[in-house]
Structures are given as structure tokens and as C-alpha cells.
A and B are shown apart, each in its own frame.
Chain A
Amino acid sequence: MGAPELTSAPPTVRRITRTVIVANPPMGLHVRPAAAFAKLVRGFKCTVALSNAVKRADGRSAFDLLGLLAEPGTELVLEIEGEDADIAVGPLCDILTADGEGNETPGPLH
């Protein structure tokens, strides 16, 4: 059993929950924003889930996100958990609420 970083303090696990209204006119959370979102998530350490009333999608998978079929105006719940949650929350929300496809604010990893 490896137990690294015994000397350093345990990372602060942050949990952030936000309610987001999907924008991305005209098509909502479609291939481009979903792929960008998943890619961004994969660059962070935190786990990210995005849910609608019936389904919870893994933020790392664009396919999962697309399965939400979130058209513009859909209300989604964004849950982020992990040490870099507060860095991730801004750019992830930006993708979901961008005013049009291709105009989302670039995330830090772009």
C-alpha cells in the first residue's frame, strides 16, 4: 500500500453545486459544447456531474452529456467535487451558458 504525500497536508476537498440554465443557442448542449466540456473536465482532477430531472451524466463523457438532450433553456444541476473544484467551476459554467456556439469563454486549458 503506497501512501504518498504523508508529509503534506491532505488536499482540501471542495464540493460545489450550481444550477445552470443551458444557453448555447440555437442547439443547446450539442456536440461542440459537450466535447469541449468533457475535454475540459478531463483536464481537471475533480469529478464533475451534470444532471437533469431524470438523468445524471458523467462530465468526462461527451456522449453522456449529449444524452441529457439539453436544449437552450434547460435547467441542469452542476456538481463538482475535488481539490480544484473552485478553479473548474467558472470555465465549465461558461461553456454551458455561452451565448452561441463557438463563443464560449475559453477555459484555462485551451
Chain B
Amino acid sequence: MEIRRGVAVSPGVAIGPALVLDTEGILIPIRSVPPEQVEGEVRRLRTALADASRLAQEKQVKLSAKLGKEIADIFQAHSGLYEDPKLVRDAEALIRANNYSAEYGVSRAVRAIMKQLESAGISPMAARLQADFVDLEKQLLLLLQGEAGQPLAAITNPIVVLAHDLTPSETAILDPSTVHALATESGGATSHTAILAGALEIPAVVGVGRFLSDVSGGDTVIVDGYQGLLILDPDEETLRRYTDLRSRDLSTSAAHQILQETSPALTKDGERVHLFGNIEFPGEARHCLDRGADGVGLYRTEFLYINKSGDPTEEEHFLAYKSVLQEIGPERPVVIRTLDLGGDKFTAAAGLSKQEKNPFLGLRSVRLCLKNQPMFKTQLRAILRASVYGDLRIMFPMVSTAMELRQCKSILLEVQEDLDEAKIPFKTDIPIGTMIEVPSAALMADVLARQVDFFSIGTNDLVQYTLAADRNNETVADLYNAADPSILRLLGHVIRAANAADIEVNICGEMSGEPMFAQLLLGLGVRQLSATPRKIPELKRIVRLIAIPEAERVAGEALQLETAREVTSYLREQLRRILPDGGD
């Protein structure tokens, strides 16, 4: 048994056969076979090795003409690797000794070879070789499974997904009814994988570090999303403990999840605080209501784009928005954020064919929309049409200049005129807002405030752009910190600008779901928080413990501090002070 520690990003526990994903996600269906089938498995293995070798040869011939002999020769080399006596011997021995399936035997053999490389020490050479071997394993598994090679979307049995990293589009197609948990080698608490896992309510642990060479598809693994643990090859006792924990979880979750409590969140001194839910999928509108949210503070619309080969149609947009508005009802606001693709939310559909060197500083989000107006207008038309079904609001993401905001508004106006002409009904008084998530926008908040009805501060991006630290890069994770004094100052500036212009301001990053920040944010003058739905009951409880003058004092004190560490320990202390049980 081996226990690996990572970052817990979505609570819950799960036990299951592992599905090890690299880029395409190939599932090993059966781990062992009846003894009488073993020789058949060995034959399948030999056929697959011969086929793989031949295919690599063919590739070499084909690519020689196109790319030159130098590059094509790598396939010649791969072709030789498939005939390698060590690989054949090891895989056959594993199959015969353990009644393994051909898939599992070859996967174990390749991974044992990778493991040996790892034990020799970490070097660039070992890392490159491992990439080669992963590719080799994948080719063999594909051949062994023929057409049946299962893409992620076709999973039907309950499994635990293990990967180096998952792209947001891969995470988005995970079905919680079959994917019981996920664990990744890389990623941090605010990576999109983490956010999506939270949204889908799949237990998840990220940033575990290297573990994929220690596990093969079909192995039993445990993901503990409470403590951030990945347990490989669990022993009997651990299995029993987690099986108990999981069944307890499932039996209480029905009662646990419905914390519908519609009475508003009022501070100790009677100040109203609005708590909204962040959602990604229309189905999550229900989660917001179940947790007593005041509406949807951030409806991310990217999911409409990321599982597709082409852009979504106006009708697809419209139906998704309409269903959310109808679920939430006319009394509560739903803030729809226009397309925020690009950065790590990469899609072929949106015409992002060219790889950018620095996508987070590139053509993403509203920049992409302004360049691709037909796509943008399609979404805006659908939003406007849906507006008649409830209290809809529109928000533009990633705005970095006043000019961009003006352009967005003028395109919206054009679409409104088109709808008018076509006599298609829509609300004319829809509140328009902008995200504040780029430092330039934060600094220009007083100017931007004159152009919109509300701000929503996206702290995830604001933190990464302000501190110049990639939120998905664990090596700079210590810099990426919402408690950094620079972030506190920017927030203070934006909130003052919003309050001075008498427009609403909402915080919608991960920061707003973190109890430690609640006093600070209310003290800085925020009266709206938007967080993942499952955080809302806890936030409500904390808001009710806060008194505004006290929160203002806390904010004032925090602004005097010099480092993120000081801010964190101060805010934790102040949170403990107000919790009835002292935070234990």
C-alpha cells in the first residue's frame, strides 16, 4: 500500500478500478482472464507487437519523404522497440504468472521499465524516455483493443480517473455516475480541473506529483477528497475503512446536500449580504437553490463550446440559458458571463487553431469574442432572447481596457437593434457588468464603473496576473496567493470605485468561497459573494457571525500587513475569534 498526498479540491471518497489517462484515455477493460485463456492472451500480445512494429515501419517510410530521414528514423527505432526481447519476455511472463490480460500485462511491463528509469534518478533523459514509453504503451493498447479502444466519453463502469493533467474539456465530459473520483499529478487548487471537479461534485485530488508509473489501469485505488490522499494498492483494512466511509457518505449526502434555507444572510448587525452560486452546467442551477443561494452570480458558458467540434448554435445557447432562468425563477438574478475561452480552456471550435506561445496573455476570452464577432453575436442574441424568462444580467470577462468595454457594449447594441427589427422580444433594461480580473481594469475601475451597472471581481485571474504566477504551475504555487497584500489593495481600490459610483460589486473567484476571507471582504465594502454552490451554507453561517464595524477593523488591519503569510495568519486568527467553537 502506498499513500500519496496531494491537494484536496473536491470532497468525498471513492474506491475503484483506475482508468489511467494520457492524452486519449485508453481504458484497460479486463485485468485478468481465466487460466485457460492465458495462451490466447499471449498470442494476442504477440500479434499486437508484430502489428505495432509493422505500423511503425510504415510510418517511417511514409514520413521519410515528408519530414526527412532524421525524424522518420525515430519510428524505425520504435519499430525495433516493439520487437525488443525484454519487453516480450517481461510481458509474457507477467501474463502467464498472473493470468493477466494482454492489455494489463503489457501495461505492467512497460510501467515496470519506466519505474526502473525513475529509480535511477530524475534526469531530462529519463523524462524524455518515459514520454516515449507512454506513447509505446498507448499504441499497443490501441492495437489490442482495436475499434473498441474506449474514449473517455464511452466509460460505462464506475472508475477512478488518474491522469497527469486533465484538460478542462476532458474534465467536462466526465460523467459523475461513472467517474467516481479523479486524481492528477499536476494542477493546483484553482486549476480549472479543480473547479470543474467541484462543480460536478466528483471527489478529486490534484498536484499529487509523479505516480502514474506506479499504477496500471484496473488497479484498485482510493481517492480521499477530504484529506487530499491518493492510496495505491490499499490493504484490506484501509479498503474496509474507506468502504464504510463511502457508504456513510452516500447515505448522509441526501440529507447533507439539501440545506435549503431561504432566509437571507444577514450580518450580526443586520446588514444584508447576497450569496450567489457559480455554475458551469444548467443542471447546477438546482444545486444553487438547494443550498439557499440568492441566485447565480456567475454562469460560465464555456461548457457549450468545449465538447464540440463546431460552435454551438444560437438555439443551443438559448435553451441552456432559458433552462437556468426557469429553474432559478424570476425573483433571483442570473449573471451570464459571455464566452471566456482561450487560456487553458482551449477549443478547436472557437477557431483557436494557432498555438499561442503565451495563451494566458494572448487571444482569450473577450479579446477572442471581439475578433470573432459572428460567434460573439450568436451568443449575445441567445442571451437577449432568454432575458424574458427571468432576471438575467450580462457580464463581459477579461476586459482590460475601457475601449474593449465600449466595443462590447456597442456590439450588444447592434444585436439589440437586429432583434428589434426582427420583432423578437427581449428585455431592454438588462443590467450590464464587467469582470475585473486584469490589473489594468482594476486600476481603471473608477472609469469602467461609469460604463456598467455592476462589477464582478474574478480573483483567480486577478491573482495570477497581478503576481505574474501561473495558477496551474505548482512550482510557483507559493506566489499565487489571494492573501497577498497587493491583492488586498487592488480589491480595496475596485470596491471603493464601485461604491463611489453606486454600482454593485461582487467577488466571484475561489477567494469568496474561503471562510477566512469573508470578514475581510465585507470589511472592504463587499455585500455580494459568489461561490461554488456547496460553499453557500457555510458562507451563510459565517456571514451571520460577522459584525460590519468589526469586519472593517479587520480589513483595515489586514491592509497594513506586508506579506501573504502575515495576512493569512491574521485572517485565520480573526476567523477563529468569531467562530462559536473557536474553529475546532
Q: Which residues of A contact B (CB under 8 A)?
A: 27-28, 30-32, 34-36, 38-39, 42, 58, 60-64, 66-67, 69, 71, 101-102
Q: Are A63 and B87 in contact (CB under 8 A)?
A: yes
A102 partner residues in chain B, CB cutoff 8 A: 69-70, 73
Stretch touching chain A among B21-29, B123-131, B210-218, B479-487: B123-131
Q: List 18 A-B contacts (CB under 8 A).
A: A27-B128, A28-B125, A30-B128, A30-B129, A31-B132, A34-B77, A35-B77, A35-B78, A35-B81, A36-B77, A61-B85, A63-B113, A66-B117, A67-B116, A69-B126, A69-B129, A71-B125, A102-B69
Least Cβ distance of A69 to chain B in Å?
A: 5
Q: Are B86 and A58 in contact (CB under 8 A)?
A: yes
Least Cβ distance of A34 to chain B in Å?
A: 8
Least Cβ distance of B106 to chain A in Å?
A: 13
B76 interface residue, CB < 8 Å from A? Answer: yes
* Interface size range of chain B in the complex: 20 to 34
- Picked from B120, B126, B129, the residue with its CB within 8 Å of the CB of A31 is B129
Q: Are A35 and B113 in contact (CB under 8 A)?
A: no
Q: Are B123 and A63 in contact (CB under 8 A)?
A: no
- Picked from A31, A58, A60, A69, the residue with its CB within 8 Å of the CB of B81 is A31
B80 interface residue, CB < 8 Å from A? Answer: yes
B77 partner residues in chain A, CB cutoff 8 A: 31-32, 34-36, 62
Contacts A31-B132, A69-B129, A71-B125 supplied; 16 other A-B pairs, CB < 8 Å: A27-B125, A27-B128, A28-B125, A31-B129, A32-B73, A32-B74, A38-B80, A42-B85, A58-B86, A62-B77, A63-B84, A67-B113, A67-B120, A71-B123, A101-B70, A102-B73
A63 partner residues in chain B, CB cutoff 8 A: 81, 84, 86-87, 113
A30 partner residues in chain B, CB cutoff 8 A: 125, 128-129
A61 partner residues in chain B, CB cutoff 8 A: 84-87
Docked pose: A60 CA to B81 CA in angstroms: 11
Number of residue pairs A-B, CB distance < 8 angstroms? 65
- The dominant DSSP class at the B interface is helix
Give 6 nearest A-B pairs by CB, closest first. Answer: A35-B77, A35-B80, A61-B86, A32-B77, A63-B86, A31-B77
Q: Are B85 and A35 in contact (CB under 8 A)?
A: no
Least Cβ distance of B111 to chain A in Å?
A: 12
Q: Which residue of B lies closest to A42 (CB)?
A: B85
Docked pose: A66 CA to B117 CA in angstroms: 8
Least Cβ distance of A40 to chain B in Å?
A: 10
Q: Are A69 and B120 in contact (CB under 8 A)?
A: yes
Q: Are B86 and A64 in contact (CB under 8 A)?
A: yes
Docked pose: A40 CA to B77 CA in angstroms: 12
Least Cβ distance of B71 to chain A in Å?
A: 9
Q: Are B80 and A39 in contact (CB under 8 A)?
A: yes
From A35, A63, A101, name the one whose CB has the most chain B CB atoms within 10 angstroms. Answer: A63
From A32, A66, A69, name the one whose CB has the most chain B CB atoms within 10 angstroms. Answer: A66
Docked pose: A35 CA to B69 CA in angstroms: 16
Docked pose: A102 CA to B86 CA in angstroms: 24
The 0/1 profile, CB within 8 Å of A marked 1, for residues 178-213 of chain B is 000000000000000000000000000000000000
Docked pose: A30 CA to B131 CA in angstroms: 12
Least Cβ distance of A105 to chain B in Å?
A: 15
From A27, A28, A31, A42, name the one whose CB has the most chain B CB atoms within 10 angstroms. Answer: A31
The 0/1 profile, CB within 8 Å of A marked 1, for residues 97-133 of chain B is 0000000000000000100110011010110110010
Least Cβ distance of A107 to chain B in Å?
A: 13
Docked pose: A60 CA to B86 CA in angstroms: 8
Least Cβ distance of B73 to chain A in Å?
A: 6
Interface hits, B322-378 → A, CB 8 Å: none
Docked pose: A69 CA to B132 CA in angstroms: 14
Least Cβ distance of B530 to chain A in Å?
A: 50
Docked pose: A6 CA to B69 CA in angstroms: 47
Q: Are B129 and A66 in contact (CB under 8 A)?
A: yes
Q: Are B84 and A38 in contact (CB under 8 A)?
A: yes
Least Cβ distance of B125 to chain A in Å?
A: 5
Docked pose: A64 CA to B80 CA in angstroms: 13
B73 partner residues in chain A, CB cutoff 8 A: 32, 102
Interface hits, B384-418 → A, CB 8 Å: none
Docked pose: A64 CA to B84 CA in angstroms: 9
Q: Which residue of B lies closest to A70 (CB)?
A: B125
Q: Are A69 and B85 in contact (CB under 8 A)?
A: no
Least Cβ distance of B115 to chain A in Å?
A: 11
Least Cβ distance of A93 to chain B in Å?
A: 19
Least Cβ distance of B68 to chain A in Å?
A: 10
A31 partner residues in chain B, CB cutoff 8 A: 74, 77-78, 81, 129, 132
Do A60 and B85 form a contact, CB below 8 Å, given A32-B73, A36-B77, A102-B70?
yes
Q: Are B70 and A62 in contact (CB under 8 A)?
A: no
- Picked from B69, B81, B128, the residue with its CB within 8 Å of the CB of A62 is B81
Docked pose: A25 CA to B287 CA in angstroms: 58
Docked pose: A61 CA to B80 CA in angstroms: 9
B74 partner residues in chain A, CB cutoff 8 A: 31-32
B81 partner residues in chain A, CB cutoff 8 A: 31, 35, 62-63
Least Cβ distance of B90 to chain A in Å?
A: 9
